[in-house]
A and B are shown apart, each in its own frame.
Chain A
């Protein structure tokens, strides 16, 4: 493992280590399940946003080293989203699969969150070098644009579940909108540039 990867890995497991420590010493507050659920959800969103920030940061500032850690950031988003989903399934629903299905059907914010997770699954599965080769770089890149859909749905899920204070979901919304906006702008700009090149 390169040093950059090691640095990201250590920092990415710090929140989990602190959660585990606080849980062990019973310092997760009066409603530990809710705290754990909320924190892992927020962490999944944070890592998703960080992974999406890599390309814009490279293009804008030339920080090309960041590409080395993008896969790890994305996988940590999937990792925390998985813990989030497992916590909900085990503690809120008592592992009762039909009850989860009913919940998805009944409550739009659960359906939206579940969809976001389902999108992350194929992205995690195709994150290996072998899969990139097998899919071909272009197709792989196109597939992984779905990360934006997952992030948008994740923010929507967060927005829908808060009772009335939307400050945190709004902050994530702004971050995802800015990153997506940059990509759309960059895509059009470079397409325009290519167009003028070919015209010339």
Chain B
């Protein structure tokens, strides 16, 4: 009996050192490459590449009034950084999530304390004389933009329905109630993909907003139908939204489906969510600090530093008289 041949075979099975080292290096290189790729992918989830530009129809016969001396922000900036919680709570994610939002047909129902309640179809609203209004837009989060809106004064609609003498406030409501479409004409994206639940958004849907009647009748208060000469992209509140340039951005409710005139102050979404942080008026005011952000300064999108915030967002001469005798610290 001899074990020698077997021992020889076993010896041959042992991987030679240089092969072993090569294999080890190979595995290590694979680990480095694979894990680096995975880490990179994880980072990309937080910073996805910008969505494709969305082309919307042009709006013609526009009168232009410039209400901001500064250079407007780019179309790309305005359409890639949006707060629209029905789609996403991430500002950079909204454009993608709202891409399939269907906004035709669309109607706005106007009623409440009015003599002639009626429903406006989107085409009728687009047939009103459209004006370009270049406004500053100041978000309560401390950033701002300059936006060339297109639209018409809210007054144009209110004149048509004739508010009664009891009407003191105007309530606005957006399309999505978190359960079923309030407006049967509104089609949510297929399978509701991209729609945010109220639970995760942290605010109740539908989003509601309100103005005092005199604020709504003010010439600066507009229903926007577009920006940069084109109809509103979905992420900016297509097909029609409110724009109140002297108030924080959240007052400018998007994708409006209902306007109701009332005799008492209507509930407003952010005030319901946190009454100590967001008041009914929410006029831009550098002297009244938000509990979590300084409102004294703002970052203009496209700039690295900050700039001072202006009282009533710079529209003091036009709107300060609306609040004569009011304590703006209490009525914030």
Contact = CB atoms under 8 A, between A and B. Distances in A.
Interface of A: 3, 6-7, 10-11, 14-15, 18-19, 22, 27-35, 39, 42, 91-92, 94, 103, 106-107, 109, 160-161, 163-167
Contacts of A30: 73, 76-77, 80-81, 91-92, 301-302
B29 to A, nearest CB: 11
Given A14-B39, A15-B43, A29-B50, A164 B306 contact: no
A47 B31 CA distance: 20
Given A7-B31, A164-B274, 13 more contacts: A3-B28, A11-B39, A14-B39, A29-B50, A30-B73, A30-B76, A30-B302, A31-B299, A34-B299, A163-B202, A164-B202, A164-B273, A165-B202
Summarize A's interface: helix, strand, loop or mixed: helix
B301 A31 contact: yes
A39 B47 contact: yes
A174 B35 CA distance: 25
Size range of the interface on B? Answer: 35 or more
A15 B47 CA distance: 11
B143 A18 contact: no
A164 B203 contact: yes
A34 B143 contact: yes
B299 A29 contact: no
Contacts of B274: 164
Contacts of B304: 32-33, 91
Contacts of A32: 304
B303 to A, nearest CB: 9
Nearest to A170: B200
B292 A7 contact: no
Contacts of A167: 89, 200
A31 B85 CA distance: 18
A14 B28 contact: no
Contacts of A6: 32
B306 A18 contact: no
B46 A39 contact: yes
A109 B81 CA distance: 24
A164 B289 contact: no
B77 A91 contact: no
Nearest to B40: A14
Contact of A106 (B39, B76, B289): B289
A197 B113 CA distance: 81
B195 interface: no
B277 to A, nearest CB: 9
Contacts of A103: 294
B49 interface: yes
